[in-house]
Amino acid sequence: MRIRAFILAATAALTACGEQQGIAPQRMADAIFAVIEADRAAYTNNVVNRLQNEEGVIKADEHWKDTKALPLPAQMLRMGSERVAEQGAGFNYALLSQWAINSQNKPRTDLERQGLEFIVENPGNNFYGTEKLGDTEYFTAIYPDVAVSPACVSCHNEHVDSPRKDFELGQTMGGVVIRFPL
Amino acid sequence: MKNYKFKFWHYGLVVTLIVAALITYNLEASDKSFFLSGETSHGHHQIELACTTCHGDGFAGQDFMQQACLNCHAEELVQANDSHPRKKFLDPRNAGLLAHLDARLCVSCHTEHKPEITHEMGVTLAGDFCVHCHSDIAEDRPSHAGFGFDTCASAGCHNYHDNRFLYEDFLAERIDTPDLLANAQLPLRTLVIEWQKTHPDSRPLTAHDMDMEIESVAPETLTGIRHAWADSTHALTNTNCSSCHVDNQTEFTSAEIVTMCGGCHAEQRETFTQGKHGLRFSSQLPEEFRRTVGAMSPVAAQIAMQPAASTELSCTSCHGAHELDMRFAAVEACLGCHDDEHSRNYRASAHFKAWQSDAAEGVSCAGCHLPREENNGRIAINHNQNHNLQPNEKMLPVCLSCHGVEFSVAVLADERQLKSNFRSPVSKGHDTFNLIRDRIARIKTNK
């Protein structure tokens, strides 16, 4: 009898803990973004910038397979996000922009449009919201992606597919969208 | 018993039982052909009785079927740098698009056993499927405004899966090449050279080294075999009779031949069994199917074949058992069976004339259809003759060994050229290049 009571109490306590431990969606998204951003910066600085611009060993190129070059940072980010999606990790992310080189990276949902506009007009701020896609309600967070180096600006301004040719250093070029079902 | 009266329903019962027995026999003990729900497409007709490969136990769900497609086709899609891989459609932001067309599943576009709606590439959708997602293309590409909804993938411009040789940077880099290159030549084969490098001390075998004598074979025949073998790459690379004729075996089934050759030539076996020549020996098929159905034969082909061609397809049907004559394997072997317009016109083509005169730029059937592919500095022959056949822009790397890119794209997109084996007058240029000429100029100045 005592054992059963103990089990019941323990289960109740654990369930309560479980409920309380749930992380608020915003904190969760912020944490995921920190990882994405850190990886993006590390790859851009320590791989692409070093090997391409400083040591001149190898270039980064959009068609990296054919040219035996390094993938661009944006492509690296997408490879990660596609892998996460394939693993069914429970969330998705993408690098989007209203001035996208790759038209598949243009905002597609109303909230994406609204959020990208917001982060461009309010530098230094993130955007959070919820939206319904298909039958599912999602929490969506959008973080600014800023032109941190002259390479960002020159490559995008010169690219044939870029709809915008006047990016400047320090401007928001797009945003990382993180999304998970509620 | 004598007076027993058969009633009508008794006959009904007997007929039902007989029919049921027949059907059960067909399902359990025979070839299951009663259960084919419709004619199978050209891609799968030769293996249509290997039901379980795709359908599992008959009750397998969508996931099983999808995995079945991937078991055979995933590698090729990776190689093709698939433009629409499943992983691109997993982001919920694409939920709206998936409602039009569920691009996560192969069968959304490629349904089997539906001959009445099966188009080129085994596509079973109406020709406007690109429009479901790309109807706004003219916003990004004003040059594409007003294009027919079925022109995207039908004019040598885009493919759904494989665009490795059609993207603008690729074209831009090669746009200035002349129609016929000065150093036109296919990559040279390296297999024997590789072997000699790893076996520097090996001496070629001669007719006297033959390590097998058999009484059951007439002396003249044996002499013929002896000389054929002594002149072959096998003698050159220290491969004696007993390497293949283990235990003095002299009669082999096609399956045994493929397995035996594959013992040394694993890559060739692998690619051979991926294409239509060797598909029935694919390791993805059930053991029982491979044992009972046997090799492919031209008799079972869906395209035009010589009426007299009835051999079974294995390694030796093209290479011979002892001769290993590469020139024969590259032309005569093909034309011994194939009898479509393109094949019939080959011997009148410029490709063949150069081949016959043994010129460096000679092009055999195999030169294009069994492409020589570089892998880690080695050139290996891909024995999957379907590998670069459809959509035919996949053949561009072969064409580009000798021709300019605009010429090649234009010729490949021209149905008449394919039929006449490239003997029709070449029309100047290809529309795809007119659409992107100014963009290509910009890409080149930015580089």
Residue range B31-65, pLDDT digits in tens: 677 766 778 888 899 998 888 899 888 778 889 99
User: How many interchain CB pairs under 8 A, A with B?
Assistant: 58
pLDDT digits (tens, 9 = 90+) for B90-111: 999 988 888 888 999 999 999 9
Q: Cβ B164–A177 below 8 Å, yes or no?
A: no
Euclidean distance between the first and the last CA atom of chain B, given in angstroms as a whole number: 98
**Taking CA B201 as the corner, what is the angle to CA B200 and CA B205, rounded to the nearest 5 degrees?**
110
Tens-place pLDDT, residues B186-232 = 998 888 888 899 999 989 999 999 988 777 888 888 899 999 999 99
Place of tokens 């089990």: A7
The percent of residues in chain B predicted with pLDDT above 90, rounded, is 55
- Is the alpha carbon torsion for A152, A155, A160, A165 positive or negative? positive
The full set of domain ranges for chain B reads: 164-184+339-447, 189-248
Q: How far apart are CA A78 and CA B79, in angstroms?
A: 19
Whether residue A136 and residue B92 make contact (CB cut-off 8 A), yes or no, is: yes
Task: State whether B87 and A103 contact (CB < 8 Å).
Answer: no
**SS3 at position A179:** strand
Q: Report yes or no: B353 and B176 within 8 Å, Cβ to Cβ.
A: no
- The pLDDT of residue B278 is 95
Q: A72-117, pLDDT tens digit by residue?
A: 999 999 999 999 999 999 999 999 999 999 999 999 999 999 999 9
pLDDT per residue as tens digits for the range B412-439: 988 999 999 999 888 777 777 888 888 8
Residue type, B419: K
| Nearest in space to A143 (alpha carbons), one of A103, A180, A111, A174 | A174
Among A66, A131, A160, the strongest candidate for a mutation testing the B interface, having the largest count of B CBs within 10 A, is: A160
Crossing angle between the packed helical segments B431-446 and B405-412, to the nearest 10 degrees: 150
Q: Count other Cβ atoms within 10 Å, centred on residue B334.
A: 19
- Reported as a pLDDT band with limits 50, 70 and 90, residue A3 is low
Q: What percent of chain A has pLDDT over 70?
A: 88
Q: What is residue A18's predicted lDDT score, i.e. its pLDDT?
A: 47
Q: What digits encode the pLDDT tens for the residues A130-179? A: 999 988 999 999 999 999 888 889 899 999 899 999 999 999 999 999 99
Instruction: Using the predicted structure, report yes or no on whether residue B128 has a pLDDT greater than 90.
Output: no
Joined tokens for residue B389:
């056949």
CA distance B293 to B286: 11
Locate the domains of chain A by residue range: 2-181
The set of long-range contacts for B138-145, using a CB threshold of 8 Å and a minimum separation of 24, is: B140/A103, B140/A161, B140/A163, B143/B435, B143/B436, B144/B435
Is the pLDDT at B174 greater than 60, yes or no?
A: yes
Tokens representing residue B271 in the block: 């690619």
Residue type, B13: L
Q: What is the DSSP letter of B379?
A: E
Give the confidence band of A4 by pLDDT, cuts at 50, 70, 90: low
Considering only CB atoms, which chain A residues are within 8 Å of B98? 134
Which chain A residues touch B86 with a CB distance below 8 Å?
Answer: 86
Cβ of B95 and A134 within 8 Å? yes
Q: Distance (Å) from the C-alpha of residue B140 to the closest C-alpha of chain A? A: 8
Does A133 contact B at CB distance below 8 Å?
Answer: yes
Please tell me whether the interface predicted TM-score (ipTM) of this complex is above 0.90.
no
| Shortest Cα–Cα distance, B92 to chain A (Å) | 7
Kindly report the nearest CA distance between residue B440 and chain A, in angstroms.
Answer: 9
A16 has a pLDDT exceeding 70: no
- Identify the pLDDT of residue B447: 67
pLDDT band at B404 (very low <50, low <70, confident <90, very high): very high
CA atoms within 13 A on the CB side of A161: 15
Q: In angstroms, rounded to a whole number, what is the distance separating the alpha carbons of residues B310 and B301? A: 10
Q: Residue A96: beta bridge partners?
A: A175
Collapse the DSSP code of B61 into the 3-class scheme (helix H, G, I; strand E, B; otherwise coil) and give the result. Answer: coil
DSSP letter (8 states) at residue B254: H
Residues of chain B contacting A, Cβ within 8 Å: 81, 85-88, 90-96, 98-99, 140, 164, 167-170, 439, 442-443, 446
Question: pLDDT class for A11, splitting at 50, 70, 90?
Answer: low
B81: closest CA of chain A, how far (Å): 9
